[in-house]
Amino acid sequence: MIAFPLGATTTPAELARDPHPRLAELRAHEPVSWLPALNGWLVTRRDLALDVMRDAETFTVDDPRFTTAQVVGPSMLSLDGAEHTRHREPFAAPFRPREVREGFAEFIEEETGRLLTALEPHGAADLRRDFAAPLAVAVVTKALGLVDTDTNTVLSWYDAIVRAVSDLTAGHAVDPAGPEAYARLRAAVESTVAKGATTSLLTAAADRLTLPEVASNAAVLMFGGIETTEAMITNALLHLLRYPDQLALVRGDSALLDGAIEESLRLEPGAAVVDRYATRDTTLGRAAIRKGDLVTVSLAGANRDPAVFPDPDRFDVRRDNSRLQLAFAHGPHYCLAAHLARLETRIALRHLLDRLPALRLDPDRPTAPQGLVFRKPPVLHVRWG
């Protein structure tokens, strides 16, 4: 008899394509399930997901198998305890709520306006590649203070590094382009610090961390700042355009825009999973987990837990508890730039809806979110006018 029959038949391809039906089955019957295809446990129930993410002593990121660290080295994302704090604190100050508003709001407004002014005459675009991605890259480049580096270059580095992490997670060999891109990012970080750019977060961090440590954390911030925000903007826009009744509510009451963003994060978090490794034998739910086991938390599964979110598959901009979503993770590894990502998405969506009142999905080019680790539509073709 197979102890976890649903887990035994769950494939990475299914989780990358449309995971939600299978995640619902797992959550109902095997909320902590062994997936041979991932060689690890998958946690899909919200309360159990919180237990894992809160307990860094039992479920750590600090393991040689952690895929991001294999590509960019140890960072705040792949360390726990005192070392995690040492890596994270030098980068924290600009991402607090007040500092985010004062330091980024005007720049995001200007960059959003510039991008839309260039797009508006065309009447159609892929808003993922032509809008969300360049906006996210521009904001990350400003946040880090990289000098002599344009947004297209940063985007190319990011794409290659994300592909490398995704390949490792799926058990594939890493394309050499990933490590090569990281080497170029590291050189740009070192150049920025060497030039002593006083407005650069990297220069400030170099007072407390070594240059390799600054570079690895810059790569992690680039992940969060681009991946999370690009996915947030793209997924939220897709949800709003798919559900005209909800879009009408937001157009009629701008105060509902924040609810739309949180609800989109709940339904389709940009990062679908986070990995941990058991530091000791333990029990989670009814599962006996052994020291060293991979324990993957499905944020996508936890975010549709019907015990917390009634009618969990419905996009409802007026849902009163959507902010309980876990798209930014939880515990010591809660996303450092969550406030910035929310601000950026809010400004981007407001400008899009205000300036393009006839905005709609292109019916000839349908799309849907996809991805095992990072989830967003590969393209988002829209029309207006």
Strands 273-278 and 59-60: antiparallel
For the stretch 198-232, pLDDT in tens is: 778 999 999 999 999 999 999 999 888 898 899 99
Q: CA 161 from chain center: how many Å?
A: 14
- pLDDT, tens digit, for every residue of 273-319? 999 999 999 999 999 999 999 999 999 999 999 999 999 999 999 99
Which percentage of the chain shows pLDDT scores above 90?
Answer: 85
Domain count, the chain: 1
Choose among 338, 267, 274: nearest CA to 305.
267
CATH code (residue 296): 1.10.630.10
SS3 69: helix
Cα 236 to Cα 230: distance, rounded to the nearest angstrom? 10
d(CA 155, CA 170): 22
Secondary structure (3-state) at 374 = strand
Host domain of residue 45: 5-383
287 — phi, psi (to 5°)? -95, 135
Residue type, 189: V
pLDDT per position as a tens digit, 249-276:
999 999 999 999 999 999 999 999 999 9
Q: How many CB atoms lie within 10 A of CB 6?
A: 17
Q: Per-residue pLDDT tens for 15-72? A: 999 999 999 999 999 999 999 999 999 999 999 999 999 999 999 999 999 888 998 9
**Pair 312, 21: CB distance under 8 Å:** no
Q: Is the pLDDT of residue 370 over 90?
A: yes
* CA 235/CA 375 separation, integer angstroms: 9
Task: For the chain, give the longest Cα–Cα distance.
Answer: 64
Question: Dihedrals φ, ψ of 296, to 5°?
Answer: -100, 125
